[in-house]
Chains A and B, each alone.
Chain A
């Protein structure tokens, strides 16, 4: 059984600037693998090459060099099969929706493009209406939809076409926080776990990526600068964690007692600066118990993916010209 559902090897892509002989490098020798059922996020600043990567993998554009396989099919040599195995969803603007059609008609059309039978299309549209709150807009013509509503309609395609691989470009763009959370929940629970679909997504939002992605590739100037689990990426940077501990009773601790870097006291809490909060907490709790104090609250402040990104990318980010 195929374990690496998406394999990318030394993929490069340049675009020629309009009416010029100059080129813009979108991707430079990018390589990575995505395992079956994984949610793999590509994170990077504007113009880093994220969308280009998704478009290449879904056969909408061709790379200049390198190879890629989607569900075991080469994206150039087995283009038709690779396309049948993947579903590309690009949000924003009007992509894919026809203005004169209702959302329902648009979805039916998407289903037909992928050769789904009518009964399957009908059932899945019902499911999408429920899961993405489409009830109010399902029979509205696309021309009357707001930006967020259009994006929701486009996202319904991920529930309709269940190919082994889903390529998603900024899935929560233009969505309100409640709906954005719902989409994240759908991606990690329904799409990935229940349907077993492998998801390759792009995002600007560190919180989103940390919440749902199994692994993250940080892309900058067309190169992958790091690729790992969010947890491991956080560990890579030299930034300390902070524990804000609220205690009832009297407790005085020294940094060496809990293997911390520093300990600061304020009126109602103790701030512990450490490298690994998970190893500090048990020591802190046993120390409090031994001293007759009670820990009533612990708040952990860890470096986020955003911090990781800022540290790895530094000041230079964006398109490589």
Chain B
């Protein structure tokens, strides 16, 4: 199949995801409301604790509400890039559509990416909704520049690579229900050590080494510095080692992370599929 046909399939898969998302109206509305409730809860926590946390946020402009909301918006998109490939493969398997896809002329790596695309676009829309609501609640950010978009894009690519690796574990490790070890580690460490909810300074210094494991850390740091008028003070371990502009270092780390994770993700998906087809791990008995 040619590029145009593949793009048509990808477009159709995105449309299909929207249809599923909005099929049960009540769930769709509750989904939207839940996003706003999450935001309100975070806003209340931020307002209540801002005087305590603000002194530790000088690097990122000092406003805790903006700090945490911006992190949550980025995290929605990054987490979806990590989670979407695994959950898309899982859904296709458990809803017994995987054999239809496998018998079609689609390339397996394209198949996993295209299946994930719908969820990623959906989550990006939720992130925009989040942003609009956050602006209404008092989020103050400077205008979106190319560098912050680049940081997001690189972070997204790195997370998608991790997502592809995680999706291949669905059949390589037969981790077919719930979560796989890689996704579990990434999701846990991004919440604990990447500075999503609190600045890294509140953690013991050794935790900053663990922070280097997830691409989220670099994205949060770069985007917050850029959009919240941050300073050039080093925070992450790599900032102390490389002694250059922290945003540049973040971008460099994200680029390296993206290259490695996408290559590994591609390799694991492709070779994983071979093993899965050999052992019939993506097949049903009937």
Asked if residues B103 and A115 are in contact (CB atoms below 8 Å), the reply is: no
Asked if residues A94 and B96 are in contact (CB atoms below 8 Å), the reply is: yes
What 0/1 readout, one digit per residue, does chain B (94-105) give for beta carbons within 8 Å of chain A? 011101111111
Q: Does B143 contact A (CB under 8 A)?
A: no
Closest CB-CB distance, A204 to chain B, in whole Å?
13
Given the complex of chains A and B, what is the CA–CA distance between A16 and B278 in angstroms?
A: 11
- Tally of B interface residues using CB under 8 Å: 32
Asked if residues B286 and A93 are in contact (CB atoms below 8 Å), the reply is: yes
Name A80's contact: one of B99, B105, B283 (CB within 8 Å): B105
Given the complex of chains A and B, what is the CA–CA distance between A115 and B104 in angstroms?
A: 9
Name B103's contact: one of A60, A62, A64, A105 (CB within 8 Å): A60
Q: A90-B99, A90-B286, A95-B96 are in contact. Are A84 and B105 (CB under 8 A)?
A: yes
Q: A61-B277, A115-B1 are in contact. Are A95 and B104 (CB under 8 A)?
A: no
Binds B, one of A106-114, A225-233, A247-255, A273-281: A106-114
Given the complex of chains A and B, what is the CA–CA distance between A55 and B286 in angstroms?
A: 10
Asked if residues B104 and A113 are in contact (CB atoms below 8 Å), the reply is: yes
Q: A100-B20, A101-B16 are in contact. Are A112 and B286 (CB under 8 A)?
A: no
Asked if residues A112 and B103 are in contact (CB atoms below 8 Å), the reply is: no
Contacts of A87 in B (CB 8 A): 103
Q: Does B232 contact A (CB under 8 A)?
A: no
Name A100's contact: one of B1, B23, B96, B103 (CB within 8 Å): B23
What 0/1 readout, one digit per residue, does chain A (55-68) give for beta carbons within 8 Å of chain B? 10011111010000
Q: Does A86 contact B (CB under 8 A)?
A: yes
Contacts of B2 in A (CB 8 A): 115
Q: Does B5 contact A (CB under 8 A)?
A: yes
Name the residue in B19, B95, B102, B280 with the highest tally of chain A Cβ atoms < 10 Å from its Cβ: B280
Q: A92-B286, A101-B16, A112-B8 are in contact. Are A16 and B279 (CB under 8 A)?
A: yes
Q: Does B150 contact A (CB under 8 A)?
A: no
Contacts of B49 in A (CB 8 A): none
What 0/1 readout, one digit per residue, does chain A (237-253) give for beta carbons within 8 Å of chain B? 00000000000000000
Q: Does A15 contact B (CB under 8 A)?
A: yes
Closest CB-CB distance, A242 to chain B, in whole Å?
38
Q: Does B263 contact A (CB under 8 A)?
A: no
Name B278's contact: one of A62, A88, A108, A109 (CB within 8 Å): A62
Which residue on chain B has the smallest CB distance to residue A157?
B100
Q: Does B205 contact A (CB under 8 A)?
A: no
Closest CB-CB distance, A99 to chain B, in whole Å?
8
What 0/1 readout, one digit per residue, does chain B (260-280) give for beta carbons within 8 Å of chain A? 000000000000001001111
Closest CB-CB distance, A171 to chain B, in whole Å?
15
Contacts of B277 in A (CB 8 A): 59-62
Sample of 10 further A-B pairs with CB below 8 A, known A101-B16, A112-B9, A112-B12 = A16-B279, A59-B103, A61-B278, A62-B278, A88-B103, A94-B96, A98-B16, A100-B20, A113-B100, A114-B105
B residues whose Cβ falls under 8 Å from a Cβ of A: 1-2, 5, 8-9, 12, 16, 19-20, 23, 95-97, 99-107, 274, 277-280, 282-286
A residues whose Cβ falls under 8 Å from a Cβ of B: 15-16, 51, 55, 58-62, 64, 80, 83-84, 86-88, 90, 92-101, 105, 108-110, 112-115
